[in-house]
A and B are shown apart, each in its own frame.
Chain A
Amino acid sequence: MSTDEQPSRTIDGTGVTPLAGVGTAVWYDLSVDVDLDEPPESDAVDPEAERDRFDDARERARDELDREREQTAERVGEEEAAVFDAHRQFLDDPQITDGVADALDDGLPAEHAVHRAFEGPIEQFAAMDGMMAERADDLRDVRDRLLRLLTDVDRVDLGALPEGSVVLAERLTPSDTAQLDPDRVAGFATAEGGRTSHAAIFARSLGIPAVVGVGEDLLTIDADADVLVDGIEGSVIVDPTSEQRERASAGRDVEIRTEPVATADGRSIEVAANVGTLAELEGAVRQGADGIGLFRTEFLFLDREAPPDEDEQVETYVEALDAFPDGRVVVRTLDVGGDKPVPYLDLPEEENPFLGERGIRRSLGPDSGLFETQLRALLRAAAAGDGTLSVMFPMVATVTELEAALETVDSVADALDDAGIDRAMPELGVMIETPSAALLAEALAERVDFLSIGTNDLTQYVMAAARENDRVAHLHDPTEPAVLRAIDRTVSAGHASDAWVGMCGEMAGDPELTELLVGLGLDELSMSAVTIPAVKETVTGIETADAESLADRATDATAKSAVRDHIDNREP
Chain B
Amino acid sequence: MERVVTVVPEDGLHARPAAKFVETANGYDADVQVGPADGDLVDAASMLAVTSLGVASGDDVRIVAEGDDAEAALDALEGVLSTPEAESET
Contact = CB atoms under 8 A, between A and B. Distances in A.
Please indicate which of the listed interface residues B19, B20, B43, B49 has the most CB atoms of chain A within 10 Å of its own CB.
B19
B49 A89 contact: no
A85 B10 contact: no
Contacts of B15: 82-83, 85-86, 131, 134-135, 138
Contacts of A85: 15-16, 19-20, 23
A67 interface: no
A342 to B, nearest CB: 9
Given A82-B16, A131-B15, A90 B10 contact: no
B89 A305 contact: no
Interface in A52-85: 77-79, 82-83, 85
B59 to A, nearest CB: 14
A283 interface: no
Interface in B9-62: 9-11, 14-16, 18-20, 22-23, 26, 43, 45-49, 51-52, 54, 57
B57 A304 contact: no
A305 B16 contact: no
A95 B49 contact: yes
Contacts of B46: 93-95
A124 B10 contact: no
A303 B48 CA distance: 22
A436 to B, nearest CB: 33
Contacts of A138: 15
B43 A94 contact: yes
A343 B10 contact: yes
Please indicate which of the listed interface residues A82, A124, A128 has the most CB atoms of chain B within 10 Å of its own CB.
A82
Interface string A482-495: 00000000000000
Contact of A343 (B22, B23, B57): B57
Contact of A86 (B16, B26, B49, B90): B16
A93 B16 contact: no
A88 B11 CA distance: 19
A96 interface: yes
Nearest to A118: B48
A82 B90 CA distance: 11
Given A85-B16, A131-B15, A132-B54, A304 B86 contact: yes
B18 A86 contact: yes
Interface in A106-151: 121, 124-125, 128, 131-132, 134-135, 138
Given A121-B48, A305-B9, A131 B22 contact: no
Interface in B52-90: 52, 54, 57, 84-87, 89-90
B45 A94 contact: yes
Contacts of B45: 94
A121 B54 CA distance: 14
A305 B19 contact: no
Nearest to B9: A305
B5 interface: no
Given A85-B16, A85-B23, A89-B22, A95 B48 contact: yes
A18 B57 CA distance: 38
A496 interface: no
A124 B52 contact: yes
A78 B18 contact: no
Contact of B47 (A93, A128, A303, A304): A93
Interface in A197-212: none
B51 A135 contact: yes
B50 to A, nearest CB: 9
Contacts of B14: 131, 135
A88 B18 CA distance: 12
A182 to B, nearest CB: 22
A138 B49 CA distance: 15
Contacts of B22: 89
A90 B47 contact: yes
B84 A86 contact: no
Nearest to A312: B87
Contacts of A264: none
B84 A305 contact: yes
Given A78-B89, A305-B85, A86 B54 contact: no
A303 B20 contact: no
Contacts of A92: 26, 47
A184 B11 CA distance: 37
Nearest to A96: B48
B20 A93 contact: no
Contacts of A78: 89-90
A412 B33 CA distance: 50
A85 B46 CA distance: 13
6 contacts: A86-B47, A132-B54, A138-B15, A303-B86, A304-B84, A344-B10
Interface of A: 77-79, 82-83, 85-86, 88-90, 92-96, 121, 124-125, 128, 131-132, 134-135, 138, 303-306, 343-344
Q: 4 closest Cβ contacts across the A-B interface? A: A343-B10, A305-B84, A89-B47, A304-B86
Given A134-B15, A305-B9, 10 more contacts: A85-B20, A88-B19, A89-B19, A93-B46, A93-B48, A95-B43, A96-B48, A121-B48, A304-B10, A305-B87
